[in-house]
Amino acid sequence: MARSLKSALLSLLLLAVFVGAWHLATLPKETARSAADEEYAKLMGQGAKKVSGLPTPARMGETIVRQLSDPFYYRGPNDMGIGVQLAHSLARVGTGYLLACLFAIPLGFLVGMSPLLHGALNPFIQVLKPISPLAWMPLALYTIKDSSVSGVFVIFICSVWPMLINTAYGVSAVRREWLNVAKTLEVRPLRKAFAVILPAAAPTIVTGMRISIGIAWLVIVAAEMLVGGTGIGYFVWNEWNNLNLTNVVFAILVIGVVGMLLDFAIGALQRRVTYVE
């Protein structure tokens, strides 16, 4: 049997064990009660069985099917389909991330080409890089005055650093002999940048892009919990306030799957630009 098939089977087995354990853990429990308790429970219209706050796998499955069968409904700002929420989050991440690409990759190129610029900008980068993107939030809200745009800004600021640093490194580490080839062929600067340096540095640049998209997807959830209104992060917080843990767990799953898909997308790009020396 092929190893990948074995791995897949083992994955399924692990999933089954997990779901089984989950099922057992959330089974309704019989508890010993006094007669007074019995009376009280009847008074409250409850049966003898106590239901756990955590969803059972069956209820979870039911929720997944219900949510996915109608992902794009809109019944007021407090009740939107998961697809609508995701679309809001992806739009923010997409905009912030794209702006970060447009800013970081050209700047990284310049920093990588010029040791002078690298020396001048490095202290700023080193100080700004470790700042939690959410720490920018108050400043963003105050200056931008729009919560949704502030979310985009936070995505921008957290995506910028890995791309900037990786692009600068990739560009500065282009093999000297390839540059010498370009020199002896009298290749013009613009052509050298696009035909030699860019493809040579592309694997490093895309690695930076991959790190960035991961961070952006981590940060958007927290950012949307803060700014509220729309998005998957807001959805999680809203369902917590509704005490609907089933929906919270569902949202967690969706966040994971979408994050994985985003990583796959950049991973595919990475495979396209990677070369073997």
Partner 1 sequence: MSAFLQVQRLAKRYPAPGGGLTTVFENVSFEIGKGEFVCLVGHSGCGKTTILNVLAGLDAASEGVVIMDGREVVGPSLERGVVFQSHALLPWLSALGNVAFAVRSRWPQWSRAEVRAHSRRYLEMVGLAASEHKTPAQLSGGMKQRVGIARAFAIEPKMLLLDEPFGALDALTRGVIQEELLQICARTHQTVFMITHDVDEAILLSDKILLMSNGPAAIVAEVVENTISRPRDRHTIHHDPQYYRIRNHLVDFLIHRSQQYASAGAARPTRPPVVRPGLDAGPIAKSANVVNLRH
Q: Residues in the site for partner 1, rule: CB under 8 A?
A: 175, 177-178, 180-181, 183-187, 191, 195-196, 199-200, 202, 273, 275-277
Least Å distance, CB 196 to partner 1, is 7
Annotate the chain with DSSP letters as a single string: --HHHHHHHHHHHHHHHHHHHHHHHTSPBP----HHHHHHHHHTT--SPBPPSSPPHHHHHHHHHHHHHSTT-B-STT-B-HHHHHHHHHHHHHHHHHHHHHHHHHHHHHHHH-HHHHHHHHHHHHHHTTS-GGGGHHHHHHHH--HHHHHHHHHHHHHHHHHHHHHHHHHHTS-HHHHHHHHHTT--HHHHIIIIIHHHHHHHHHHHHHHHHHHHHHHHHHHHHHH-SSSHHHHHHHHHHTT-HHHHHHHHHHHHHHHHHHHHHHHHHHHHH----
| Of 55 and 112, CB closest to partner 1 | 112
| Of 100 and 174, CB closest to partner 1 | 174
Least Å distance, CB 180 to partner 1, is 6
| Of 74 and 275, CB closest to partner 1 | 275
Least Å distance, CB 172 to partner 1, is 18
Residue 10: both structure tokens together: 């083992």
| Of 66 and 191, CB closest to partner 1 | 191
Residue 1: both structure tokens together: 């049997």
Least Å distance, CB 197 to partner 1, is 11
| Of 163 and 200, CB closest to partner 1 | 200
Least Å distance, CB 175 to partner 1, is 8
| Of 180 and 242, CB closest to partner 1 | 180
Q: Report the alpha-carbon distance of residue 36 to residue 46 in Å, rounded.
A: 14
| Of 93 and 182, CB closest to partner 1 | 182
- Whose tokens are 């990786």? That residue is 166
Least Å distance, CB 269 to partner 1, is 14
Which residues, in sequence order, are CB contacts of 48 under 8 Å at separation 6+? 30, 33, 38, 41
Least Å distance, CB 164 to partner 1, is 23
